[in-house]
Amino acid sequence: MSLTVAARLVEAVLFAAEGPLTPQEIARHAALEESILPHLTALADHYAGRGIELVERGGRWHFQTATDLSYILRREREEPRKLSRAAVETLAIIAYHEPVSRAEIEAIRGVQVAKGTLDVLMEAGWIRPAGRREVPGRPLIYATTPDFLSHFGLASRRDLPGIEDLRAAGLLDPIDLAMENMESQSLLENDEEQDEDEDNEA
Amino acid sequence: MSLTVAARLVEAVLFAAEGPLTPQEIARHAALEESILPHLTALADHYAGRGIELVERGGRWHFQTATDLSYILRREREEPRKLSRAAVETLAIIAYHEPVSRAEIEAIRGVQVAKGTLDVLMEAGWIRPAGRREVPGRPLIYATTPDFLSHFGLASRRDLPGIEDLRAAGLLDPIDLAMENMESQSLLENDEEQDEDEDNEA
Amino acid sequence: MTGETPIQEKLDLDVDALLGDSDWAEPVRRVPGEAVLTVSTEGWEGPLDLLLALARTQKVDLREISILALVEQYLRFIEEAVELRLELAADYLVMAAWLAYLKSGLLLPKEAQPDPSPEELALRLHLRLQRLEAMREAGARLMGRDRIGRDVFVRPAPEGLHRPKSIVWQASLFELIQAYGQVKARTAPRIHVVARRPVMTLDEAIERVSRLLGMEIDWTDLSRFLPETADPVLRRSALASSFVAALELAKQGRVELRQEAIFAPLYLKPASLGAPA
């Protein structure tokens, strides 16, 4: 395949970059005024089925080895960061609920977030403080980073495994909200219990 | 161009290699028994005129950015410099307490702040002089810049974790506070049990 | 759990079945020669975790789980643990008390039920378990994805791109807040710190080394002069003080020092006759 000068530049910039790049960053490095996206999609198509693939993760692009070759390439490599079970669960809770406060994480896990859990995830560059919740105490809330998406091969948070099913099943709602929903549902089914339910809520 | 699995593996191994590889090394990494050379020459042909090229130097193969595009590359192979410990601390204090004077930074750090430290932070574009304190001597005061926020991925300074958040994340731990932490932790645990009970009864 | 097996076997069975996950490091430790089992509560991350593990043994969809049966399982587990003198953290017992309350509520006739209704409490517990389970599964699926550095690889040493600025300073948010935490930790008032740290002063060390030295005639390793202690902090302090004491005594001509190589053991011997005592 012969490429235009612009496409060659985009390819070279991505190849030489030290990390994932946004189209704007690529344009700046390649000194291109035109839109980069068509080149990126053309390149991604071109690399489909090759040993290397061009992928987009959270709006940033990078080259990586093809995922289906992992069975061969994996064996000589050491496991990256081994996370504790607590850290894995905490990361999952942040990713699926973000932004989320520490108290909310603790409510789901039923235990305090141990020291060394959030800081391990922050040190890995997977989570970041993302402002404060405007409730009494103004707790800090946490969210995932673009590096999280890159590391786990997610184009966006919508690609989190099973997130749509969990949302549809209400499993990402806080328990109070879930209870309310259930009550209003049962209200529809049975008007008579209405008063009693409201009493219980109070 | 569609490739055989073997050629894809050769491509992936070369891409992920730390340095140039001999065909034997490639064969070992790719777990291939067959001869690698035909794949290498086919790949090299394929990449001719692209942004990346596959080259052989003294029997070892590697990918590199096309030589005519090398102007996009970093000219000097200089390592990005890590901020010194003192500079990181100073920056943190400015971020948490801005605007602050040098004397105030020193009071918080408990150590003198070298002039060069502030210069480095200004050169990095993370702090700026923000007027003078109207006290005797009218010392210069410093604040962070918008570049600071964007470099550290913060929407605003309010996103910085507070002392309680740092404590919870274990970031206040290392020195001499073990006792205090244990106390506050057992307090927290008591609080939590209370919360849980309230939760369940709500 | 069948009624026939002895209680200890039953518990072993449960524990093993519950702890099939290899991530959970040795939750059950058997002390040799003793009938006491220690269930490290680190095996479960709190009562909710244990409840979820128990719920899994019902082998039905978590949505169909019987809360009453689960409560009974938990209470039986805690009871057996107590009988076997297993160590259980307080929050497990708090949960047990709460579940016992829930159970009695669930068994009451409907009119006599307290407010809030036990059904509602049971439903809440049910929802909590489902949420924890969902996140646990989500975490496992996340970890199983093709991860950079394990399954897929990026270039390990890219050339890097030309940047407009000549020097690029690097620091991460984590480093920033970690540094602030350490500044605060360092400069926070330390009141009860010194008293808690077991140390051996130089004077004590000089006294101890010279006293013990009187009982030795041959070259003796410095470590032999240290007080016996299991406290690593005190041990380090004693080592440092005794080392300085040895240097001081050597300066005074009361001891001879010998060391074969850097970091090799340091040997002491009373100074030979003729030297000032």
Predicted-complex ipTM score: 0.71
Among A73, A100, A127, where does a domain finish? A73
Closest Cα to residue A98, out of A58, A118, A128?
Answer: A128
- A134 and A154 inside one domain: yes
Q: Do C142 and A161 touch (CB under 8 A)?
A: yes
pLDDT of residue C166: 55
In chain C, residues with a C-beta closer than 8 Å to the C-beta of B176 are: 185, 188, 190, 193
**Domain total of chain A:** 2
Q: Are residues B143 and B56 in the same domain?
A: no
Whether B28 and B66 map to the same domain: the answer is yes
Same domain, B68 and B108: no
Residues 82-141 of B with CB under 8 A from A: none
**Cβ–Cβ contact C121 with B under 8 A:** yes
- The verdict on B184 and B100 lying in the same domain is yes
Contact between chains at A66 and C152 (C-beta distance less than 8 A): yes
* B126: amino acid identity, one letter: W
Cβ of C23 under 8 Å from any chain A Cβ?
yes
Pair (A115, A176) in one structural domain: yes
**Boundary (domain end) residue, out of B35, B50, B73:** B73
Written as tens digits, the pLDDT of chain C (277 aa) is 333 333 333 344 345 444 444 343 344 444 444 444 445 455 678 889 989 988 888 877 888 888 999 999 999 988 888 777 777 778 888 888 899 988 888 888 877 777 778 888 898 999 999 999 999 999 999 988 888 888 888 888 787 777 665 567 788 888 888 888 888 888 776 554 444 567 788 888 888 888 887 777 788 888 888 887 777 778 888 888 888 888 888 888 888 888 888 778 888 888 875 444 4
The residue in chain B having the minimum alpha-carbon distance to the alpha carbon of residue A76 is B29
Q: What is the pLDDT of residue A189?
A: 62
The alpha carbon of residue A157 and the mean position of all alpha carbons in its chain are separated, in whole angstroms, by: 4
Alpha-carbon distance values, C209 to C161, C220, C232, C273 (Å): 62, 11, 19, 19
Q: How far is A27 from chain B (nearest CA, A)?
A: 11
Q: Which of B45, B73, B101 is the last residue of a domain?
A: B73
Pair (B111, B169) in one structural domain: yes
Taking residues A179-183, what's their average pLDDT?
Answer: 80
pLDDT in tens, A83-137: 888 999 999 999 999 999 999 999 999 988 877 789 899 999 999 999 898 888 8
Coil/strand/helix, residue A147: helix
* CA distances (Å), origin C232, targets A168, B81, C224, C235, C236: 54, 38, 16, 5, 6
Asked if the C-beta of C20 comes within 8 angstroms of chain A's C-beta atoms, the answer is no
Using a cut of 0.95, tell me whether the model's pTM lies above it: no
- The reply to whether residue C169 touches residue B80, judged by beta carbons under 8 angstroms, is yes
Name which of B22, A95, A58, A2 is nearest C143 in CA terms.
A95
Is A79 part of any domain? Answer: no
- Same structural domain, A112 and A143: yes
Are B94 and B36 part of one and the same domain? no
Beta carbons of B75 and C162 less than 8 Å apart: yes
Tokens of B48: 């001719």
Taking CB atoms and an 8 Å limit, are B161 and A12 in contact across chains? no
d(CA A6, CA A12): 10
Query: Smallest CA–CA separation between C163 and chain A, in Å?
Result: 8
Which of B83, B169, B177 faces C169 most closely, judged by CB atoms?
B83
Q: Which residue of C has its CA nearest to B152?
A: C173
Nearest CA in chain A to C43: A85
* Residue C266, helix vs strand vs coil: strand
Residues from chain B contacting residue C192 (CB–CB below 8 Å): 179
Q: In whole angstroms, what is the distance from residue A147 CA to residue A150 CA?
A: 5
- Do residues B113 and B181 both lie within one domain? yes
Cis peptide before C118 (omega within 30 of 0): no
Q: B22-31, B79-88, B92-101 — which is least confidently predicted?
A: B79-88
Which pLDDT value is given to residue B160?
A: 86
Residue A195 maps to a domain: no
Judge contact between A64 and C148, C-beta under 8 A. yes
**What is the tens place of the pLDDT at every residue in B163-173?**
778 877 777 65
Say what the pLDDT of residue B100 is: 92
Measured distance CA(A3)–CA(A43) in Å, rounded: 9
- For residue B187, name the pLDDT band (cuts at 50, 70, 90): very low
Please tell me which of the candidates B81, B96, B176 has its beta carbon nearest to residue C169.
Answer: B81
C182 to chain B: nearest residue by CA? Answer: B172
pLDDT, mean of residues B141-153: 88
| pLDDT for B77 | 53
Domain-located, residue B172: yes
Judged by DSSP in three states, A182 sits in helix
Same-domain pairing of B45 and B95: no
Quick count: other Cβ atoms within 10 Å of Cβ C93? Answer: 14
CATH number at residue B184: 1.10.10.10
Judge contact between C274 and C235, C-beta under 8 A: no
* Residue A173: domain span: 85-188
Q: Is the same domain home to A102 and A174?
A: yes
* Cβ under 8 Å to B: C residues 139-168: 153-157, 159-163, 167-168
Q: How confident is the model at residue B198 (pLDDT cuts 50, 70, 90)?
A: very low
Query: Does residue C107 sit in helix, strand or coil?
Result: helix
**Between A201 and A17, residue with greater pLDDT:** A17
Kindly indicate the confidence band of residue A196, based on its pLDDT and cuts at 50, 70 and 90.
Answer: very low
Of B92, B189, B197, the CB nearest to C179: B92
**Alpha-carbon span B97 to B128, nearest angstrom:** 14
